[in-house]
């Protein structure tokens, strides 16, 4: 089976599931590239840190577009900063581009769901 | 390559930038899903006519 | 297995697009194409939409599934509350999305 290059664009702050979905494709021998496009990085759970590390192990990559990724990430967790133009150029080579979930919110989340 | 850009809402500046790069030197088409009563038959026809479809938020 | 040129994969991740999902699936069916749909993330709430069962019937057991983990994460019971029109077999994992990418000649995200 051909390995496909799949970009998962995550604009909403609730980015975790887009990363989980990319990992799901990685374990099916595809290349998963989740792109966090919102500049918001809610507290990274141990589960999510493992998912990000695993995507890298499977030759995928987690990208941050439009904002610098946090520098205090746990060991083995890497995110690559990329600007919008460079992302567009990379995605010309994509087999699939998936704008994931909901669009970016304009309002701030309340404390009940901010983390 | 024929690429189809589908919009579920009015595209923002980031989407417009990405679409501009993706469409460069390609046979590009578009479809707006956010108007009233989108013609789904026409959309399906366009999807099957294109090599690749991107459906934006 | 080569992708089927007459099969349309629909990957649903937003809970806001049921009208589009139904509209596109029905239009594909009318055009003699076969829709294959996977609901994941917040879109699993669409399983409670009154149009969902007809959509499941249109696609058939092998060509529509939902992510059981997403369903559970959103608070539903993926054992006792299988959505109308689905069987246990259609409560799947992200692997179904991988299969959809492999099997479908055309693809759209909603």
- pLDDT of A41 > 80? The answer is no
Nearest to C108 among B6, B41, B57 (CB): B6
Instruction: Pick one of 3.20.20, 3.30.70, 2.40.50, 3.40.1260 as the CATH number of A5-113.
Output: 3.40.1260
Q: Answer for the pair C109, B55: CB distance below 8 angstroms, yes or no.
A: yes
**What domain range includes position B41?**
2-56
Instruction: Pick one of 3.40.50.11900, 3.40.50.300, 3.40.50.2000, 3.40.1260.10 as the CATH number of C4-109.
Output: 3.40.1260.10
How many angstroms away from the CA of C57 is the closest CA of chain B? 19
Pairing of strands C64-67, B27-32: unpaired
Domain boundaries, chain A: 5-113
Residue A7 CA to residue C11 CA, distance in Å, equals: 14
Tell me what ipTM this predicted complex has: 0.95
H helix runs in chain C, sequence order? 18-30, 52-59, 68-73, 95-103
pLDDT in tens, B17-44: 999 999 999 999 999 999 889 999 999 9
pLDDT in tens, C4-41: 999 999 999 999 999 999 999 999 999 999 999 999 99
Q: Answer for the pair A80, A63: CB distance below 8 angstroms, yes or no.
A: yes
B20: tokens are 């501009």
Q: Answer for the pair A66, A36: CB distance below 8 angstroms, yes or no.
A: no
Bridge partners of C38? C11, C65
Question: Which of chain C's residues have a Cβ under 8 Å away from the Cβ of A25?
Answer: 94, 97-98, 101
Nearest to A88 among B9, B21, B57 (CB): B21
């Amino acid at each position: 089976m051909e390995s496909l290059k799949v970009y998962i664009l995550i604009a909403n702050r609730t980015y975790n599931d887009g990363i989980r979905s990319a990992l799901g494709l990685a374990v099916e021998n595809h290349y998963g590239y989740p792109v966090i496009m919102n500049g918001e990085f809610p507290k990274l759970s141990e589960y999510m840190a493992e998912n990000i590390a695993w995507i890298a192990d499977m030759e995928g990559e987690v990208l941050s577009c439009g904002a610098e990724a946090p520098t205090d990430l746990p060991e083995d967790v890497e995110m690559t900063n990329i600007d919008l133009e460079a992302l567009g150029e990379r995605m010309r080579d994509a087999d699939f581009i998936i704008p994931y979930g909901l669009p970016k919110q304009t309002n701030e989340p309340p404390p009940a769901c901010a983390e | 390559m024929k690429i189809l850009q589908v919009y579920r809402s009015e595209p923002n500046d980031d989407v417009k930038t990405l679409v501009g790069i993706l469409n460069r030197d390609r046979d590009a088409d578009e479809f707006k899903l956010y108007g009233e009563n989108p013609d789904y038959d026409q959309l399906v026809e366009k999807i099957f006519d294109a090599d690749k479809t991107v459906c934006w938020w | 297995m080569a992708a089927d040129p007459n099969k349309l994969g629909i990957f649903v991740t937003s809970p806001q697009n049921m009208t589009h999902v139904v509209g596109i699936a029905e239009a594909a069916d009318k055009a003699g194409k076969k829709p294959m749909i996977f609901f994941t993330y917040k879109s699993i709430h669409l399983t409670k939409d009154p149009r969902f069962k007809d959509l499941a019937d249109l696609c058939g057991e092998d060509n529509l599934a939902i992510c059981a983990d997403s369903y559970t994460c959103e608070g539903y019971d993926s054992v006792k509350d299988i959505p109308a029109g689905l069987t246990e077999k259609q409560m799947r994992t992200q692997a179904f999305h991988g299969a959809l990418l492999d099997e479908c000649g055309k693809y759209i995200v909603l």
